[in-house]
């Protein structure tokens, strides 16, 4: 019996031993062209979202055109995936289309776009991001401030300092990250004060990291004792 089992395994091959069908092992990954076609025409929104995500992971900027077109997809998850993938590719040709989404009616989209424009880092987005500092949504204002700070533009730091007093812990963390990227000595003082008063554990950790990063950037070595 044992000999017959061994013989069968030899015939079927190592793919069976691994529990993986042999054909699945040989399937090549989808090309950028195939993924772009799926993103443009697959009737299933989940498949389009997966294609958009995969295009960002490939690191091939030739996918930018398909992803820009997907910013108008009827499915919100597909649009979000396209925004994130364009940022992952640092796709500067997408900046005009992304900047237009700072007027999207969904504040979650506006926040995401502001953040991702900061990652792309194209100065062409500064005008739209500056306008977003007046957005009705606090999160969008703070993400715009952080994006501008990432580009070396301090125009959003006043909004970021005000965000340290927000009732929303996430907004306070967003404000801390913005100040860490572009703050000055007054921002450091504001971070120290906010850290001393913060009760939320995650936000306190974010403030501590922001203080350390800003101190390093400004060349300030000594920090006040915690809670002072």
Q: What is the mean pLDDT of the chain?
A: 89
**pLDDT reported for residue 21:** 53
Per-residue CA distances from 17 to 4, 20, 24, 124, 218 (Å): 15, 8, 14, 55, 59
CATH for 34-89 is 1.25.10.10
Judge whether 86 and 98 are in contact, CB under 8 Å.
yes
pLDDT surpassing 90 at residue 114:
yes
Per-residue CA distances from 99 to 7, 9, 127, 144, 152 (Å): 64, 58, 9, 11, 18
Quickly count: other Cβ atoms within 10 Å of residue 89's Cβ: 22
pLDDT surpassing 50 at residue 144:
yes
pLDDT surpassing 50 at residue 8:
no
Spatial distance between the Cα atoms of 54 and 128, rounded to a whole number of angstroms: 28
- Between 20-34, 84-98, 99-113, 132-146, the lowest mean confidence (pLDDT) is in 20-34
User: Which pLDDT band, with edges at 50, 70 and 90, does 220 fall under?
Assistant: confident
Token pair recorded at residue 145: 């401030």
Segment 169-204, tens digit of pLDDT: 999 999 999 999 988 999 999 999 999 999 999 999
What share of the chain has pLDDT > 90, as a percent?
Answer: 81
**pLDDT reported for residue 221:** 77
| Residue with tokens 């967003």, as numbered in its chain | 174
pLDDT surpassing 60 at residue 227:
no
**pLDDT reported for residue 150:** 92
Domain-wise residue ranges, the chain: 34-89
Spatial distance between the Cα atoms of 148 and 181, rounded to a whole number of angstroms: 9
For residue 222, give every residue at least 6 positions away whose Cβ sits within 8 Å of its Cβ, in sequence order, or none: none
Judge whether 142 and 164 are in contact, CB under 8 Å.
no
Spatial distance between the Cα atoms of 145 and 90, rounded to a whole number of angstroms: 19
- Between 25 and 161, the more confident residue is 161
pTM summary value: 0.81
**pLDDT reported for residue 19:** 52
pLDDT surpassing 80 at residue 1:
no
Spatial distance between the Cα atoms of 201 and 80, rounded to a whole number of angstroms: 29
Segment 10-42, tens digit of pLDDT: 444 444 445 545 444 555 688 999 999 999 999
């Amino acid at each position: 019996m044992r000999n017959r089992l061994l013989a069968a395994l030899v015939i079927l091959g190592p793919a069976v031993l691994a529990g993986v069908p042999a054909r699945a092992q040989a399937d090549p990954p989808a090309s950028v062209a195939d993924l772009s076609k799926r993103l443009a025409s697959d009737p299933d929104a989940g498949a389009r979202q997966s294609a958009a995500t995969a295009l960002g992971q490939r690191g091939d900027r030739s996918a930018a055109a398909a992803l820009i077109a997907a910013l108008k997809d009827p499915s919100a998850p597909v649009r979000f995936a396209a925004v994130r993938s364009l940022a992952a590719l640092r796709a500067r040709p997408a900046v005009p289309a992304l900047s237009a989404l700072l007027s999207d009616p969904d504040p979650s989209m506006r926040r995401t776009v502001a953040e991702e424009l900061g990652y792309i880092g194209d100065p062409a987005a500064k005008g739209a991001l500056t306008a977003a500092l007046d957005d009705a949504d606090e999160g969008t204002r703070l993400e715009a401030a952080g994006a501008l700070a990432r580009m070396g533009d301090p125009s959003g730091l006043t909004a970021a300092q005000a965000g340290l007093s927000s009732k929303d812990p996430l907004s306070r963390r967003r404000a801390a990250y913005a100040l860490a990227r572009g703050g000055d000595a007054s921002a450091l003082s504001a971070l120290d004060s906010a850290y001393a008063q913060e009760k939320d554990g995650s936000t306190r950790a974010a403030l501590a990291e922001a203080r350390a990063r800003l101190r390093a950037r400004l060349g300030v070595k000594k920090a006040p004792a915690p809670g002072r």
